[in-house]
Structure 1
Amino acid sequence: MPPAIPAAETSEAVAPEAAAAAVSEAAAAAGPAEDAPVALARPRLTAVLLMAGSCLPILGAVLIAPVLPKLQDHFAATPGADALAPMALTIPALSLAVMAPFAGAIIDRLGRHRLLVIATVLYAIVGTAPLWLDSLPAIVASRVLVGIAESAIMTCCTTLIGDYWSGKQREKYLALQAMCASISATAFFALGGAAGSAGWRAPFWAYAVGLLLAPLLGLYLRPAAGRAQVVAATAAGATEAEAAAGTRTPLLRRLLAPCALTFFSAIVFYTVPVETSFLLDDLGTTAPATIGLCTAIASVATVVGAVAFTRLTDRAERLLPAVLALCALGFGIIAVADSVPLLVAGAVVNCLGGGMLLPTLITRTMVLLNAADRGRGTGLWNSAFFLGEFVCPLILLGVAKPAGSLAGAVGVLGAAALAVAAGLAVLRARRRPAAATA
């Protein structure tokens, strides 16, 4: 993918009007104008509920992975079971990617709070459907509905974080969201494996947690009504009308470059979690305990990276080239690894960057959105991210043959990530003088 324009550095980089672009450059240099903060009666409880809601789509992505062989064996007589059983795991991500923009449009019209509660109830109903379904195609269809519910949940939770907090607090909670997602992925994988000992249907009971969470979301979350639009003047002396010029740019044009970069970064982010077991297998390591330990170590690095994000910078756009370069370094180590310890070291380096990558991307995108279009913008971002998650293994599989091995494909991805990082750094360096002049 060619280097994308770092849109958070200039919210008007794609606008044709030169004057508006200059104003936007000045705003980028001074820091983004923020919405007025929302007064929350229970800020900690609000944060806990939003973090819990954000973990639900992660549960859908990893919970049934340990029982897929049992699911496939149970429906061995079903035509196409070899393809349909893996789809039960991956189809929610595709469904989420397709539906997230529509969820964003709906919540901008109907409100975030109401849709979040409805989607959480729907998530519990369709998520537990395989407990009584006796048809593999019907189970896959229920998983499509799970992805639709997840698209609304994830979009609403991320949008509400943008609504409720601003500036450093927003960055803090977006990083916390990424950290909770990483921790929950490890916990849900272990939960799925433990529950799977009671049969392939048992892990699906975990989806019932939505019925417990939905009433809490309905009682304690409140719509962010009355939140001010972005009209603050920039430090460069821009007028309110000029400062709002970026919001007049069509949303798709504003987010085209960030979403393209997010799609690529999602492939970078998910490569290690998805491919670690196969990479270890290529090195002759097949013991489930060893694979689980290596995956857990990488997950801890992701958490550390998410925590580090809140401490290393107050401007997310400054961080992105270095984060992608760190991910590329990890891929390079993995590509040349001839032992398990070296491979794990590469995974740790990559996941350390990955933990910073996710909150960096969403923070940069939030800068471009105001209260009126935050739902649609967040939906587009989620669509790009989860579409990247869905195609990640397919792309690596396609590159592995010409590259000679899966490790070689990871090396190619590392080279691409390094090229994108260099391109972003060059573009940012070129824009600094223009922003200063403006």
Structure 2
Amino acid sequence: MALLMAASLTVMANATISPALAGLEQEFSRTPDAGFLVRLLVTAPSLGVMLTAPLAGWLADRAGRRGVLLGGIWLFMLCGTAGYYLPDLQLMLASRFGLGVAVALIMTAQTALIGDCFTGARRQALTGLQISARNFGGLVFITLAGLAATLSPQLPFLIYGLAVVCLWAVWRHAPEPEPSRGPGTPGAGEGHPAWLLLAVAVSLLQMLTNGLFFMMPTQLPFFFAAQGLNSALMTGAGLGLLMLCGGLAALFYGRLKRALPHAVIFAAGYGALALGFAVLAQQGSPATALAGTMAIGIGYATVSPGFVAIVLALAPAARRGTAGALLTASVFCGQFLSPFASTPAIARWGYGGTFWAAAAALALMAGIALTAALHATRRRAAL
């Protein structure tokens, strides 16, 4: 539970203050380039994660996971709540970058601890529960932020203070496991000989997947507005259903993995993602669009646990901090780069064409995964 609580914090980094952006822009309207700086408050944590995740992995492997995780949660509370009392946007921006550093520490150490403390089916189940915790945490935190923003645009920053509960849980229930103390520790796994190259390949796939998925929070409001719909209402409903369906789907990942190999699960998940984007590309009724977001949520929650499970199985016990850093950096790199790729594509091909292109790419990924699964089945049959 302590590790799942830590996982739920990471979704707070970017999205929690989203409901307050319009109010912050109005409050700091006298600041030069206020509109641009306010929008940077959302993306600054991603940049902080990307730049500091390697350092977080190095620290987790050498200084221990528990200390890195506790330090990350302390920094998370400090930098997260800072926006409530800081007097100007520049200082807020610096605190948001610090929040990204905290998230890098938390995600890296938390992923490594999953590898250290759990094995086999229990680890597979926990990687799914981790995605559920992020989805359900997102629902709770963004809802609270929306309510707080109606009172004051700076009030949502105080929601980051809820991390104190996680701090207590980790301090009380997450001891430092022996295998993480370094090479040569008794019982430490050796890992795959080419684990680093394979982990980089898996992380690149996760980056691409997150880049496509992140078109939902970054482009969905403008997609609904272009259709003449109530953008705020439809975006809230779409993202809410996406997180709810994703959270429910991830709950069953452990059972799914016991019955099916990774390749089949990836094929199903990428197939659901492709279906969701294809439905959105049709630009049909509001109900159809919401159904598309639900499929995307289910597909993303189906493939995401596999990245963590595969990399943890490949990495040596003493290098799980590095493995966690690769995974962490790839998630936020995909999020950070997504608007830079999707916005020009939408300008050229429109929402329909861009969503069809995303659906085609995801369908290709599903086909490759299914082909790999069939090939593995034939090899086993031949043996």
State TM-score, norm by structure 2: 0.92
Deviations 1:378-435 (A, max 9, x none): 11011011110122222211211221x2232122111111122223333454456667
> CA–CA distance in 2 between the matches of 1:420 and 1:295?
24
**Secondary structure of the corresponding residue to residue 77 of structure 1:** coil
For 2:161 and 2:127, locate their aligned partners in 1 and report how far apart those are by CA, in whole Å. Answer: 26
How many angstroms does 1:276 deviate by?
Answer: 2.7
User: Are the counterparts in 1 of residues 60 and 109 from structure 2 also a CA contact under 8 Å?
Assistant: yes
**Alignment partner, residue 190 of structure 1:** 143
1:76 is paired with a residue of what secondary structure?
coil
Corresponding residue number in structure 2 for 1:353: 299
Q: 1:283 touches 1:339 (CA, 8 Å); kept in 2?
A: no
Compute the displacement of 1:93 (Å).
1.6
SS of the equivalent of 1:228 reads: coil
Partners of 2:243 and 2:159 lie apart in 1 by 21
Q: Matched residue of 1:107: which SS?
A: helix
The reply on whether 1:396 has 2:342 as its aligned counterpart is yes
CA distance in 2, matches of 1:263, 1:421: 16
Q: How does 1:300-319 map to 2 (within 5 A)?
A: 300-314=244-258, 315-319=261-265
* CA RMSD after TM alignment: 2.0
| 2:87 match | 134
Higher helix share: 2
User: Identity across aligned pairs (percent)?
Assistant: 24
**1:417 matched to 2:377:** no
Does structure 1 retain, via aligned residues, the 8 Å contact 2:237–2:290? no
Q: Residues 290 and 426 (structure 1 numbering): CA distance in 2 closer, same or farther, change over 3 Å? A: closer
Q: Partners in 2 of 1:435 and 1:369 — Cα distance?
A: 25
Sort the Cα spacing of 1:298 and 1:210 in 2 relative to 1 into closer, same or farther, 3 A.
closer
Q: Which residue of 2 aligns with 1:254?
A: 198
Q: Report the alpha carbon displacement of residue 205 of structure 1 after superposing the two structures with TM.
A: 1.0
- Over alpha carbons, which structure has the higher Rg? 1
Name the structure 2 match of 1:269: 213
Unmatched runs of 5 consecutive residues or more in structure 2: 180-185
Work out the number of aligned pairs and report it.
375
Q: Does residue 292 of structure 2 align to residue 342 of structure 1?
A: no
Given that residues 396 and 406 in structure 1 are in contact (C-alpha distance below 8 angstroms), is that contact kept between their aligned partners in structure 2?
no
Contact 1:124–1:211 (Cα < 8 Å) also in 2: yes
C-alpha separation between the residues in 2 aligned to 1:264 and 1:430? 24
What is the aligned counterpart of 1:286 among 198, 219, 230? 230
Note if 1:230 corresponds to 2:203: no
CA distance in 1, matches of 2:108, 2:141: 21
CA contact (8 A) 1:159 1:374 kept: yes
Aligned to 1:117: 70
1:63 aligns with 16
Contact 1:316 1:363 in 2 (8 A): no
2:189 maps to a residue whose letter is V
Answer yes or no: is the 8 Å Cα contact 1:317–1:360 preserved in 2: no
Offset of residue 162 of structure 1 = 1.3
Stretch moving more, 137-146 or 428-437: 428-437
Aligned to 2:371: 426
TM-score, normalization by structure 1: 0.81
Match of 1:105 in 2: 58
State yes or no: 1:373 paired with 2:319: yes
Q: Compute the displacement of 1:257 (Å).
A: 1.3
